[in-house]
Copies of this chain bind each other. A is one copy, B any other.
Amino acid sequence: MSHPTIKDVANKSGVGIATVSRVLNNSSQISPQTYEKVMKVIKELNYVPNATGKKLSQNRTHVIAVIVPVINHPYFAKLIEEIELAADARGYSILVASSQHRIEREREILKRIAQNEADGAIFVTHYEHKEEEFKGLAIVSIDRHLGKDIPIVTTDNYDATKKAVEYLINTGCKKIAFLGTKPSQASEVSLRAKAYLDTLKEHNLEPFVINKIVSHGNENEVIDEFLNKRHDFDGVYVSGCILANTLRNRLEELDDIEIPNDLQIISYDGDFCLNNYSPTTTLEQPIKDMANKCVELLIQLIDEEKIENMINSFNCRFVKGKTTK
């Protein structure tokens, strides 16, 4: 027999399949003799339990879906990695799917969850969904308010940004730009632009905002616009890691601007440009903690436990790099 089943083990051990199941799961007291006997046969037969049978009988897949716009993006890749580790530690596997910025793909994936491909999902979306699309599904959202029953994990976009902008001001910046790739839907991320505007207003400085809806891969559009309109900025707040890296690379080409003396840069997200020797000053999202929280919340949802906080905001860490004074 190529793939022995629990029945084969039971027969060969001379016990019932229920007993084999109990041995496998340590689910109740088993006499030592029985235990040994069954274990021996399991080894002899090289028996491996079939997860699908278990899933069906338990109505639980122990799979978490992770839905992101794209996989090949340093922030999402890191997020997926940390979610995988957190999930694995709790006995869950992850199913990864990318929406590729297409809402129909997101719907397709949500459907798979309704079909019990996974017990629930951690969802990063930039699209508008009706709350009813999530009905009956266990979902945790990152950065987006998706509905009142859907917990959200995010960062202190407003406070961290305010602190960053104040840092630029305190180190002498007079003319500070905001560069961002605007989310297409209302998201916590929008608070970054708000914090920037509020802070500049408090200090009587004139704002300059470029905040475009742009897909990953086209970040240069934002930078182009900035470089074209650039007058005499001495500070720039950049709303994401790719933008920051793109900006830095572009400025290096120009050769006439020295960082941080002529221009200071602070980015959101963290520094993913792999440049250990000249890191960007950044508001680093605690991705590992966020991933852990996502998994924890999702499993609570799956287990129908009560969720304490529907909004879970993590503090970014201000990490001084070489792009600020």
Chain A residues near B (Cβ < 8 Å): 2-3, 48-53, 55-56, 59, 61, 63, 70-74, 76-78, 80-81, 84-85, 88, 93-98, 100, 111-112, 114-117, 136, 220, 242, 245-246, 249-250, 252-253, 273-278
Q: Which residues of B contact A61 (CB under 8 A)?
A: 52
Distance (Å) between the CB of A165 and the closest chain B CB?
A: 25
Residue contact A249 to B220, C-beta cutoff 8 Å:
no
Residue contact A80 to B53, C-beta cutoff 8 Å:
no
Q: Which residues of B contact A85 (CB under 8 A)?
A: 98, 100
Query: Given the interface contacts A84-B97, A253-B278, does A115 sit within 8 Å of B50 by beta carbon?
Result: yes
A43–B95 Cα gap in the complex (Å)?
Answer: 27
Distance (Å) between the CB of A137 and the closest chain B CB?
A: 11
Of B56, B74, B242, B276, the residue contacting A220 (CB under 8 A) is B276
A297–B191 Cα gap in the complex (Å)?
Answer: 47
Q: Which residues of B contact A63 (CB under 8 A)?
A: 95
Apart from A51-B116, A52-B116: 6 A-B pairs, beta carbons within 8 A: A48-B114, A71-B78, A71-B80, A94-B95, A249-B276, A273-B274
Query: Given the interface contacts A51-B112, A275-B249, does A71 sit within 8 Å of B84 by beta carbon?
Result: yes
Give 7 pairs: A residue, B residue, CB < 8 Å, sorted on A. Answer: A3-B136, A52-B52, A52-B116, A71-B77, A93-B112, A249-B274, A249-B276
Residue of B nearest to A80 (CB): B71
Residue contact B246 to A115, C-beta cutoff 8 Å:
no
